[in-house]
Structure 1
Amino acid sequence: MKKNRIVALAGAILMTVSMALTGCGGSNASQTTATQAAAGGEASGEKTFNMKLGHNMAEDHAVNIALKGWAETVKEKSNGTINIEVVPNGVLGSETDMISQIQGGALDMAKVSAATLGNFSKAYTAFSVPYLFNDKESYFKVLENQDLMKEVYDATADQGFRGFTWLDSGARSFYTKDREIRKPEDLKGLKIRTMDSQMAIDMMNALGGSATAMGYGDIYTAIQQGVIDGAENNVTALRDHADVAKVYSYDIHTMIPDIVVISQKVWDEMSDNQKQIINETAAEMSSNYKQAWKEFEDQVINDVKGKGVTFVEDVDIPAFQEAVKPIYEKLQKDEPDTYALCEKIQAAQK
């Protein structure tokens, strides 16, 4: 029955993401090339790009389904001059590994968290600042602000890659083996897995918990063996951890988008028409994915309730907001550029 639900959900997500995108065929590319096309490319004088796009989600995850649908659309609209093979499951390494591969010319594209990108540019660090966004509507308003996001995307161009679109990755909250988190004091003494991000570590320190950075794939065993007491992530993480984590508390401390990045070298070799195809189809994918993500979250919540997971909604969010104020004060003093971007992001929500 579970397998049937996953297949049905995958089909529903693909249909939602593809509503405004037209697909045809797949990609059998294996490595980046920039040669004259044998068919459509020769007629247009454009180069053909056979690329790989890596990410660390499973094949039936909403991210993979959306990216594969987008790749098919790009192939069709470019008359076969842009072919993208989507490689899921972390086969190509961690998010940091994939960025390094892009910088070294061994990979073309990747879907990574803005939190990971904060290790490469302070412009992305802003997205990991707790309680940056007023609500989900404000979050989308910022991500759809093309001028603001171009500033962010351009920030890593001198490091060999650039962003070009985003994917919703939900709101991050705490989930634990058995403790309900309603106020910051409830985190005292708990070891919580965070991403390998200084901002995430600073947040845990401010809230009174103990941050433990580790890979996503290690969380299940770490909770099971008592190495950590819980983690922080969007609700879909329970799809993998509901057997060992029975309480999810909606403190909604961050909304950190995923970003799709591309090699700057590859981008520079593309024609203006090809860049336009990438940008326009990616923007449609991002927009359609909002609904696909919501459906994915709803399905996971429904499934894990059957496994005995409790969802805590009466969280004292103002208390959490008060507790992280020192982070903003530290940013203003030590990282004024990041603080200025936070102010710009907050102004864009009005």
Structure 2
Amino acid sequence: MPSFHFAPRLAAIAAALALCAGAHAQDKPVALKLSSWVPAQHALNPALQAWADDIKKASNGTITSTLFPSEQLGKAFDHYDMARDGIADVSYVNPGYQPGRFPIFAASSLPFMVSNAKAGSAAIDAWYRQYAAKEMKDVHFCFAFAHDPGALHAKKKVLLPTDIKGMKIRPATSTIGQMVTTLGGTNVQSSAPEARDMLERGVAEAITFPWGSLILFGIDKVVKYHMDVPLYVTPFVWVMNKDKYDGMSTAQKKVIDDHCTSEWAEKVGSAWADFEIAGRAKIAAEPGHEVYKLTPDQLQAWRVAVQPVELQWAEGVKKSGGDPKQVLDSFKQTLVKYKSAL
């Protein structure tokens, strides 16, 4: 009977399926320490937790994670080195906190580039993958993403770039810091969790920040004027300790690889973006706050004024051995492809 001929083949298929199903079951358990420096209630943390939960499911429970928010494992400035050194297994990094260290990545924080953080996160990730292995060689790169475009928030109304002269401003990234210096202002460095204190003490009188986080960090209590312009995005990376990744089984590495993609960059960026977008309306409704637009002429004045920042950025890329024109052209083309160019 024909069924006898099929029996060995069916047995072989069944054995192969059983082998695949058992691949994860035979893997050694891996416990990951995930580090996030934003407060526990921040919208980013549930998105990172969802990433970890999906990895647990895809690995049949062999890869588990614990998320440590609020700088529990170390300061915001140190998160790249924490992943490198294994203090955290996976960490959330603002590369712009370390001026000059990641000159290529800094292209994504140039002013007036990115229109939104949803498709924009996928675009930044897709673009940077060609450079990550070299520029961030100390870690295993997972993905890059951004917060929704941030604006300038100040204790006084700022309309023109000339208004920046003499002001003390806390910039979001080193690139925005260059913009402040170019316009005659003074940079006051601080991580996001320290920013409100700086403003309250008068050490700074303005800040570049996204809208929802302005409320979360209590910064809306000390700045009342808000320029409603998508000035910049702060791009971030989610990176992993190399030894931790290398120590995983082939099947576990594939699970991680499947979760280190542009699609996941967009998922994480989108969850945060919705939170930031909602913040604009909340601030506009707060008594004593003024959210204002710029005229076309004022906006053009800003675009012209920040052009030297791009030139400074290009010099930094040249010093690192890169080709700034190739980098920037690639970035702009990717933003257009993902419908997220400003």
Sort the TM-score into its range (normalised by shorter chain). Answer: 0.7 to 0.9
How many Å separate the matches in 2 of 1:246 and 1:68? 33
Quickly say closer, same or farther: Cα 1:103–1:233, change in 2 above 3 A: same
For 2:119 and 2:52, the matched residues in 1 are separated by 29
1:9 aligned residue: none
1:155 to 134, 138, 142: 134
Equivalent position SS for 1:226: coil
* C-alpha distance in 2 between matches for 1:333 and 1:275: 37
2:242 is aligned to 264
Q: Is the 8 A contact 1:121 1:155 kept in 2?
A: no
**Does residue 1:319 correspond to 2:301, yes or no?**
yes
CA distance in 2, matches of 1:57, 1:41: 38
Structure 2 vs 1, CA of residues 99 and 135 (structure 1 numbering), >3 Å: closer, same or farther? closer
AA at the equivalent of 1:266: K
Q: Which moved more, 1:126-135 or 1:320-329?
A: 126-135
> What residue number does 1:189 align with?
166
Aligned pairs, how many?
Answer: 306
Letter in 2 for 1:251: V
Alignment of 1:21-36 (within 5 A): none
The answer to whether 1:103 aligns with 2:62 is no
Aligned to 1:54: 35
Which of 162, 172, 178 aligns to 1:202? It is 178
- For the Cα contact (< 8 Å) 1:75–1:83, is it kept in 2? yes
**Helix, strand or coil: the match of 2:288?**
coil
Distance 2:118 2:67 in 1: 30
Deviations 1:192-237 (A, max 9, x none): 012462x332111122322111232332222222221111111123
- Over alpha carbons, which structure has the higher Rg? 2
Which runs of structure 2 are paired with 1:21-100 in the superposition (5 Å)? 44-100=25-81
Structure 1 Cα separation of the partners of residues 24 and 204 of structure 2? 58
1:123-138 paired onto structure 2 within 5 Å: 123-133=104-114
Residue 277 of structure 1 corresponds to 255
Q: What is the alpha-carbon distance in structure 2 between the residues aligned to residue 43 and residue 141 of structure 1? A: 29
Q: Residue 175 of structure 1 aligns to which amino acid in structure 2?
A: H
What is the alpha-carbon distance in structure 2 between the residues aligned to residue 144 and residue 121 of structure 1?
15
Q: The residue matched to 1:158 in structure 2 has which SS?
A: coil
Give, in angstroms, the shift of residue 113 of structure 1: 1.8
Residue of structure 1 equivalent to 2:279: 300
Question: Contact 2:122–2:265 (CA<8 Å) still a contact in 1?
Answer: no
Using a 3 Å threshold, how does the CA distance of structure 1 residues 158 and 238 change in structure 2: closer, same or farther? closer
Residue type of the alignment partner of 1:314: L
Maintained 8 Å contact 1:141/1:348: no
Distance in structure 1 (CA, Å) of the matches to 2:287 and 2:253: 46
1:43 CA drift (Å): 5.9
Instruction: Find the counterpart in structure 1 of residue 310 from structure 2.
Output: 328
- For residue 180 of structure 1, give the secondary structure of its aligned residue in structure 2: coil
User: For structure 2, which runs of at least 5 residues remain unmatched after alignment?
Assistant: 1-20, 337-342
Query: What residue identity is the alignment partner of 2:335?
Result: Q
Distance in 2 (alpha carbons) for counterparts of 1:150 and 1:311: 37
Contact preservation (8 Å) 1:128, 1:256: yes
- Equivalent position of 1:175 in the other structure: 153
CA distance in 2, matches of 1:321, 1:56: 32
- What whole-Å deviation, never above 9, does each CA across 1:163-197 have from its counterpart, x for those lacking one? 212333111221012x2222201222211012462
Match of 1:21 in 2: none
User: Does the 8 A contact of 2:35 with 2:91 survive in 1?
Assistant: yes
User: For residues 162 and 120 of structure 1, do their structure 2 counterparts lie closer, same or farther at Cα, with a shift above 3 Å needed?
Assistant: farther
Question: Contact between 2:117 and 2:145, CA under 8 Å: does it hold in 1?
Answer: no
Q: How high is the TM-score relative to the length of structure 2?
A: 0.79
Moved more, 51-60 or 148-157: 148-157
SS of 1:122's equivalent in the other structure is: coil
Identity %: 21
- Does residue 287 of the first structure (1) align with residue 263 of the second (2)? no
Q: 1:224 aligns with which of 197, 200, 215?
A: 200
Displacement of 1:345: 0.5
Partner of 2:191: 215
